């Protein structure tokens, strides 16, 4: 009932929404401006693996990209970043947005809001769901909107940025959030019994997020397992392993956000839009491994087949499943070493670049094979491939490259 009440309140803001909303694309256009959230723990020491990734990424992004950094107020995070960008002659491209200390910043900049341009007058909006599952997420959009002088609005719908991908004339949304929004609005906006509920939700998402692009849902019609823990023996000792991390009961997505297993790659010469879908079976073939039951290859295949029926050209790429051990707790956590969680820039027909996270480092040296195989997939599509540093420290926490940034503005 509380979420329903929130949804009703958000409906009162309907007139404040942009008249012709248009989402910032996920692949098309130059990377003019990007947002990153940089918590203090990222810079606690020079050898922090997260900071090494950020440094590598900042150096390898185009020299015309503006960096908007949300940093904790007080402390020395802003000073440390200022020193680093100055030392690399990049400070003129940086703008800081300070966040009060009591707000717990996380590295996952992608999820908190959507950036929407009103094609009616060229103004930009920060658009957020009616509530957030992480407390700090609501405040990052609020602070950024104030700092940049942008309008901020709430919708009666639920979404997170990682479950949205925006093409040139369509946008994809993970089907789980369609279900969430339907449950929130049933009896408030949607009729109690109606087979038209999904059509109404599609209209609402289009009204609040993008008035012209075609709305396409991404999911599977097969059973998808939820997160679970089970015991196993390692060297004679009892351990616990976590599988299907963050998947909830009744999910229709193989991973909780679609940007973890789907990537947009622009149109082919025939005009069909190309979509990469991760393939755990292919990864095992590249690595010479036996296919694990945890890898749910049939679910990923089903997602690919459903996208093909929506007239996309679907290209499969290796999506390895690996794990990290915590010996002191006797715990093993499985995760996807995803190359789908990439950054893509398409400028015209012949200037295409992709930035790929890599995983073949240290204890995961064997993943160099899938790193190279994913590079080859993109090169065959005509992309310049820029491989980045070791993203295992992010991926083991259920995110990667696409998750730690937000596209603020794209050029042509």
Strand 94-99 with 114-118, pairing: unpaired
Share of the chain above pLDDT 90, in %: 79
Please tell me the distance from the alpha carbon of residue 9 to that of residue 12, in angstroms, as a whole number: 6
Please tell me the distance from the alpha carbon of residue 26 to that of residue 354, in angstroms, as a whole number: 12
Mean pLDDT of 59-77: 96
Res 195 pLDDT > 60: no
Band the pLDDT of 118: cuts 50, 70, 90.
Answer: very high
Res 39 pLDDT > 80: yes
Neighbours of 113 (CB within 10 A): 28
Mean pLDDT of 67-95: 96
Band the pLDDT of 84: cuts 50, 70, 90.
Answer: very high
Least confident residue range of 68-82, 185-199, 324-338: 185-199
The 3-state DSSP class for residue 255 equals coil
- 8 or 158, which is more confident: 158
Band the pLDDT of 1: cuts 50, 70, 90.
Answer: very low
Res 137 pLDDT > 80: no
The 3-state DSSP class for residue 408 equals strand
Please tell me the distance from the alpha carbon of residue 322 to that of residue 165, in angstroms, as a whole number: 25
Q: What pLDDT does 78 receive?
A: 96
Res 371 pLDDT > 90: yes
Q: What pLDDT does 178 receive?
A: 82
Mean pLDDT of 200-214: 91
Give the model confidence (pLDDT) of 331-349 as tens digits: 999 999 999 999 999 998 7
Strand 164-166 with 313-318, pairing: unpaired
Q: What pLDDT does 10 receive?
A: 52
């Amino acid at each position: 009932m509380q979420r329903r009440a929130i949804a009703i309140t958000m409906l009162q803001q309907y007139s404040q929404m942009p008249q012709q909303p248009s989402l910032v694309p996920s692949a098309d256009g130059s990377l003019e401006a990007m947002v990153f959230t940089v918590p203090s723990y990222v810079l606690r020491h020079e050898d922090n693996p997260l900071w090494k990734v950020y440094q590598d990424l900042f150096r390898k992004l185009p020299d015309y990209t503006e960096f908007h950094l949300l940093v904790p107020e007080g402390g020395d995070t802003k000073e440390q970043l200022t020193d680093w960008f100055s030392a690399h002659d990049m400070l003129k491209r940086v703008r800081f947005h300070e966040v009060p200390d009591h707000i717990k910043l996380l590295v996952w900049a992608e999820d908190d809001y959507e950036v929407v341009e009103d094609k009616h007058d060229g103004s930009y909006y920060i658009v957020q769901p009616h509530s957030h599952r992480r407390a700090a997420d609501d405040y990052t959009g609020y602070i950024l909107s104030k700092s940049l002088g942008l309008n901020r609005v709430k919708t009666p719908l639920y979404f997170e940025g990682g479950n949205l991908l925006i093409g040139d004339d369509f946008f994809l949304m993970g089907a789980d959030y369609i279900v969430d929004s339907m449950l929130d609005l049933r009896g408030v906006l949607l009729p109690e019994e109606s087979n038209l509920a999904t059509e109404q939700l599609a209209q609402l998402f289009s009204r609040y997020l993008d008035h012209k692009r075609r709305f396409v849902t991404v999911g599977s019609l097969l059973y998808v397992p939820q997160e679970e823990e089970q015991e196993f023996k390692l060297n004679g000792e009892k351990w616990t392993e976590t599988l299907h991390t963050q998947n909830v009961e009744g999910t229709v997505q193989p991973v909780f956000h679609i940007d973890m297993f789907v990537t947009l790659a622009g149109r082919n010469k025939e005009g069909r839009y190309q979509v990469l879908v991760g393939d755990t079976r292919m990864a095992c073939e590249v690595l010479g491994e036996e296919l694990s039951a945890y890898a749910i290859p049939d679910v990923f295949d089903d997602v690919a087949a459903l996208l093909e029926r929506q007239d996309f050209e679907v290209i499969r790429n290796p999506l390895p499943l690996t794990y990290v051990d915590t010996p002191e707790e006797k715990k093993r956590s499985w995760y996807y070493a995803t190359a789908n969680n990439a950054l893509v820039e398409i400028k015209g027909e012949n200037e295409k670049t992709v930035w790929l996270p890599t995983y073949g480092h240290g204890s995961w040296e064997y993943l160099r094979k899938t790193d190279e195989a994913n590079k080859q997939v993109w090169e065959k599509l005509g992309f310049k491939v820029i491989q980045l540093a070791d993203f295992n420290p992010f991926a083991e926490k259920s995110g990667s490259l696409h998750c730690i940034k937000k596209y603020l503005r794209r050029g042509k």
